[in-house]
Structure 1
Amino acid sequence: MVTTLDDTKRTAIAKKLADMKEIQKLIINNEQQFLKEISDNEIRNRIQKMLDDDNKNMGILETVNVQYGIQAEPDKTISEMVKKVQQLMQGSELNTYEKVFQHELLKHQQVMSGLTVHKAAQKVGADVMMAIGPLNTVNFENRAHQEQLKGILEVLGVRELTGQEADQGIWGRVQDAMAALSGVFGSAVTQTSDKSDMNVQDVIRLDHNKVNTLFTELLASNDPQKIQEYFGQIYKDLTAHAEAEEEVVYPRVRPFYGEGDTQELYDEQAEMKRMLEEIKANDPSSSQFKDKVRQLMDAVGDHIRQEESTMFAAIRNNLSSDQSEQLATQFKAAKQKIQERLGKQGAASK
């Protein structure tokens, strides 16, 4: 039986990521609702930009969940809270100011959840840090949204209390605060816009980086239990990655990448799967175990170099940005289904 790294700490992080996805859906619904209810053009424009960011950030959260490799359901209390907030947002019990106030609290919750996941990942393992890396963009943008929401709340609050317009200097302070945030977090947080909509090359490269990190961690360890756990994660990640590529990516690239080169990728992954099964049958404390892992790492490395050079170039030359992003979405969806299947198989074997 393959032992994976799905221990208590990693499962807890997976649940927190699932919670963040659930909250993100609520945030998007709220902002869509605000656009229907608010007539102020300045506020509408700012909320529309937040909504654009949040739709992209939902894609990032989905990528992180699949890249992390452990599928979990959101906590029951989170799901119940989301239902209650949805009812309040769609009802007439709260005025616009109160609804936006509740929304700012949700943004704060997302910020703290994202930062907590980031800090927890530092304690759990380098491969976890690699998997949740794109989450940094979501953390930064949620913090920036908080500053904008504070400005919106001041404008709405002054109108609510006095019936008059607030000092327009509010928006200047908001921009200054956002600029200060950018200065504080800019060096530590990925803010590149091209990572908002990941293409299939981005997503595959994330998988490659993560498995290379796992190989490094395994080979550096002398603890047979940790070695077995690291191999278990490699086994699961490579299996899901390979099956998703064979289901979605390779059939799509075959017409322009070529029959021979595409078949070579299939053949390399068949050999990789054979090696995984061979290593799985070995005792991780044996002297041969790491030797066989090194052989696997070399084979995976050759496969990665082919994909990231010639296959990626073929994709760039033959698929539009939208087509490559759509292929990434299909790859992630296939991979998530495979992960769920592997998770059920693992649970059934325990």
Structure 2
Amino acid sequence: MVATLDDTKRNAIAIKLASMKAMQQLIIENEKLVLGAGLDTEIADRFRDFLKDDEKNLGVLETIIGQYGIQAEPKQTVQQLIETVQKLMKGSELSLYEKVAQHELLKHQQVMTGLIVHKAAQKVGADVMLAIGPLNTINFENRAHQEQLKGVLEILGVRELTGQDADQGIWARVQDAMAAFSGVVGSAVTQSSDKKDMNIQDVIRLDHGKVNTLFTELLQSNDPQKIQEYFGQIFKDLTAHAEAEEEVVYPRVRPFYGQENTQELFDEQAEMKRVLEEIKALSPSSSQFKDKVRQLMEAVGDHMRQEESTMFAAIRNNLSSDQSEQLATEFKAAKTRIQQKLGVVSESKM
């Protein structure tokens, strides 16, 4: 059996996520340019808050893409749009009002793409929903930014047309809209938006949750094609996760977690890889297939419990918050590189 995953729906979502990441990078670039345009204090403070949120959300998007497990390139039309907007934002053809209006349109596009990805994930699989779960926070924050940008546009537009300030200040303009918006989404606007990056425990725990969901979906299915698809994703997710841990995490924790404990984690993952290869050689309709998967799930579960209890405790006791977040960044980068090496890059489509 070849462990591949060429489900077109999953690949299409991967391309959307890659496009969102490219657009997020453009949004950050635009906000830095606007901040350099001599804004008054109130608007500049608002853009600094946007920038802080958007830089954090870029990291969240990178985590989501790593969790999703399929590395893709943005759609070519999105890349062309980005190049066009970059030229306009850096040039002198647009007024400040027009540049901020363009930025608000990008925020709108980002909101709609995020909502569509979330809705599509509901139709594809529980593992996909779990992987893209943090996208909801980004969607809500982008929607809140969009409402505030409308207030900024009112001020800049009146100023451009009359040379005078609008009668209402920025917060008076957006207060009613933000109150209505908050009433619709409740606390979801601020959930998980504590401005700090994910630490290594957060990122590893997300990986564990996703693979557990994949195991459940596989064992509940009687469709050989779906079983093969689920195993293909399990194979790639576990392989990338294990190799990234062995490259980045285990060497870092060995000094305080202990040589014996760390070696046990290496040995467990070596056994896991061996069983993965055994299952890969079986037909999904074979009577042995699900038995081997259950054996693998049990071994992986024991490994996860050790990491989430004793290893996580050792990390909390020996690494600062900044060090743990930096380790997460290095782990995500390693996992992305390994996923690309495993040949899970989807080609962008026109």
CA distance in 2, matches of 1:184, 1:205: 30
Paired residue for 1:208? 208
What is the correspondence of 1:65-76 to structure 2 with a 5 Å cutoff?
Answer: 65-76=65-76
Paired residue for 1:102? 102
Secondary structure at the aligned position of 1:39 is classed as: coil
Paired residue for 1:339? 339
Flag the structure with more relative contact order, 1 or 2, with Cα contacts below 8 A and sequence separation at least 6. Answer: 2
Cα deviation for residue 170 of structure 1 reads 4.3
CA distance in 1, matches of 2:189, 2:226: 30
Cα deviation for residue 177 of structure 1 reads 2.4
Aligned residues of 1:6 and 1:70 also touching (Cα < 8 A):
no
Aligned residues of 1:136 and 1:190 also touching (Cα < 8 A):
no
Paired residue for 2:255? 255
Paired residue for 2:322? 322
Q: Alpha-carbon deviations, 1:283-313, whole Å to 9, x = none?
A: 2112221111111100000000000111011
Q: How many residues align?
A: 347
In the alignment, structure 1 residue 149 sits paired with structure 2 residue 149: yes
Q: Alpha-carbon deviations, 1:263-299, whole Å to 9, x = none?
A: 1101111111111111111121122211111111000
Paired residue for 2:61? 61
Q: Alpha-carbon deviations, 1:159-180, whole Å to 9, x = none?
A: 1112111123541341342243
Paired residue for 2:46? 46
The letter for the 1-side match of 2:183 is: G
Q: Alpha-carbon deviations, 1:35-82, whole Å to 9, x = none?
A: 110331000000000000000011011111111111111111111111
Contiguous gaps of at least 5 residues in structure 1: none
CA distance in 1, matches of 2:11, 2:275: 28
Q: Alpha-carbon deviations, 1:94-146, whole Å to 9, x = none?
A: 00000000000000000000000000000000100011111111101100000
CA RMSD, aligned part only?
1.7
Cα deviation for residue 344 of structure 1 reads 6.1
Paired residue for 1:274? 274
The letter for the 1-side match of 2:67 is: Q
CA distance in 2, matches of 1:57, 1:172: 27
Q: TM-score, normalised by structure 2?
A: 0.95
Instruction: Describe the shift of the 1:344–1:5 C-alpha distance in structure 2 as closer, same or farther (beyond 3 A).
Output: closer
Aligned residues of 1:242 and 1:269 also touching (Cα < 8 A):
yes
What is the correspondence of 1:137-216 to structure 2 with a 5 Å cutoff?
Answer: 137-186=137-186, 191-194=191-194, 196-216=196-216
Paired residue for 1:285? 285
Instruction: Describe the shift of the 1:297–1:195 C-alpha distance in structure 2 as closer, same or farther (beyond 3 A).
Output: farther
CA distance in 2, matches of 1:61, 1:25: 11
CA distance in 1, matches of 2:165, 2:67: 47
CA distance in 2, matches of 1:195, 1:294: 39
Aligned residues of 2:137 and 2:188 also touching (Cα < 8 A):
no
Paired residue for 2:91? 91
Secondary structure at the aligned position of 2:92 is classed as: coil
Secondary structure at the aligned position of 1:186 is classed as: helix
Percent of residue pairs bearing the same amino acid type: 78
Paired residue for 1:228? 228
The letter for the 2-side match of 1:229 is: E
In the alignment, structure 1 residue 21 sits paired with structure 2 residue 21: yes
Aligned residues of 1:56 and 1:196 also touching (Cα < 8 A):
yes
Instruction: Describe the shift of the 1:193–1:247 C-alpha distance in structure 2 as closer, same or farther (beyond 3 A).
Output: same
Aligned residues of 1:4 and 1:230 also touching (Cα < 8 A):
no
The letter for the 2-side match of 1:101 is: A
CA distance in 2, matches of 1:126, 1:342: 23
The letter for the 2-side match of 1:240 is: A
CA distance in 2, matches of 1:286, 1:209: 27
The letter for the 1-side match of 2:98 is: E
CA distance in 1, matches of 2:345, 2:270: 21
Instruction: Describe the shift of the 1:188–1:268 C-alpha distance in structure 2 as closer, same or farther (beyond 3 A).
Output: same
Q: TM-score, normalised by structure 1?
A: 0.95
